[in-house]
């Protein structure tokens, strides 16, 4: 396990995605992550993409990713660029997703604890809409990603649970109407709170995340052949096991703060 904190801030992701889309980043977004930008360009030879598919699997810590790396082998074939980020504090779901998609620190976007108000500062969704592009969020109903970016002139789909979210996303990809599609899943986060980060139930949740991401990646290859697509596997925060045995994430420790994302560009045919 990595005992040091990673240094690349998660807030730099937002401007990086905007750069690939040719969209001016939201007002308070941190500067882009040049390391990720250059790696993706050298991986694909593509520097601009007209589709972005973000898969947001909740709570996959960097060390958990490493421990079960074999589960993610097929994901890495789709998205071969691994980018390590330090998430924002406190490492709670709405705090982290608000920073991921505004590029701003918690004090700036206003969510600094576990609560799910609508984020009112400029976000990637506003930036895409201003650029004439169509964003869409598909989430489990009432979860952070379902609630905190409401109020924009964009599409939202609220589903029963992870499988329904993925099914909806695949259906939307068939229709090919959205330029930025964010797809939220939560099974691992649910499991670590009820059991612990390496329980059989939690390991199964990681398998589900991996197979869902592969399904989405395969769908890009078949349905979005006319587009250059940036695809990402992008968790919000990590997890640790408490002394009482259950998993949790709220501490300023590398287990909770260090995350690994996967990215790839699938060029058009």
Q: Which residues of the shown chain bind Zn ion in the complex (CB under 5 A)?
A: 58-59, 93, 189, 236
Tokens 């079960």: give the residue.
Answer: 68
Which of these, 250, 182, 240, lies nearest to 60 by C-alpha position?
240
- List, in sequence order, every beta strand (DSSP E) within 141-267: 155-159, 180-185, 229-233, 240-241, 247-248, 258-266
Q: Report d(CA 49, CA 147) in Å as an integer.
A: 27
Q: Find the residue with minimal CB distance to Zn ion.
A: 93
Minimal distance in Å, beta carbon 237 to Zn ion? 5
Which of these, 96, 142, 101, lies nearest to 121 by C-alpha position?
101
47/158 with CB nearer Zn ion: 158
Minimal distance in Å, beta carbon 118 to Zn ion? 18
Minimal distance in Å, beta carbon 153 to Zn ion? 27
214/239 with CB nearer Zn ion: 239
For residue 17, give both structure tokens: 């995605």
51/92 with CB nearer Zn ion: 92
122/236 with CB nearer Zn ion: 236
Minimal distance in Å, beta carbon 235 to Zn ion? 8
Question: Strands of 135-140's sheet, edge to edge?
Answer: 81-86, 258-266, 229-233, 51-57, 180-185, 135-140, 155-159
210/266 with CB nearer Zn ion: 210
Minimal distance in Å, beta carbon 120 to Zn ion? 21
Question: Cβ–Cβ contacts within 10 Å for residue 242, how many?
Answer: 11
Minimal distance in Å, beta carbon 10 to Zn ion? 12
From the CA atom positions of the chain, what is the Rg in Å? 17
19/58 with CB nearer Zn ion: 58
Question: How far lies 177's CA from each of 49, 104, 135, 258, in Å?
Answer: 15, 28, 9, 34
């Amino acid at each position: 396990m990595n005992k040091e904190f990673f240094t690349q801030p998660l807030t730099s992701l937002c401007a990086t995605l905007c750069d690939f889309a040719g969209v001016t980043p939201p007002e308070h977004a941190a500067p882009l992550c040049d390391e990720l930008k250059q790696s993706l360009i050298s991986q694909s030879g593509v520097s601009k993409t007209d589709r972005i598919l973000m898969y947001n699997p909740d709570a996959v810590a960097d060390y958990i990713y490493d421990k079960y790396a074999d589960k993610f082998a097929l994901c890495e074939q789709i998205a071969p660029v691994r980018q390590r980020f330090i998430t924002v504090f406190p490492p709670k779901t709405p705090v982290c997703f608000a920073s991921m998609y505004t590029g701003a620190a918690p004090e700036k976007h206003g969510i600094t604890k576990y609560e799910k108000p609508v984020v009112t500062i400029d976000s990637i969704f506003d930036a895409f809409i201003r650029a004439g592009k169509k964003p869409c969020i598909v989430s489990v109903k009432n979860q952070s990603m379902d609630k905190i970016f409401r109020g924009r002139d964009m599409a939202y789909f609220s589903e029963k649970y992870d499988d329904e979210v993925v099914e909806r996303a695949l259906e939307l990809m068939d229709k090919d109407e959205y330029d930025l599609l964010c797809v939220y899943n939560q099974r691992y986060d649910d499991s670590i709170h009820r059991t612990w980060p390496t329980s059989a139930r939690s390991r199964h949740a990681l398998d589900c995340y991996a197979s869902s991401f592969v399904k989405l990646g395969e769908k890009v290859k078949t349905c979005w052949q006319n587009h250059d697509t940036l695809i990402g596997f992008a968790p919000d925060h990590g997890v640790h096991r408490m002394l009482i045995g259950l998993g949790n994430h709220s501490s300023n420790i590398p287990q909770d703060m260090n995350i690994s994302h996967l990215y790839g560009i699938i060029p058009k045919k």
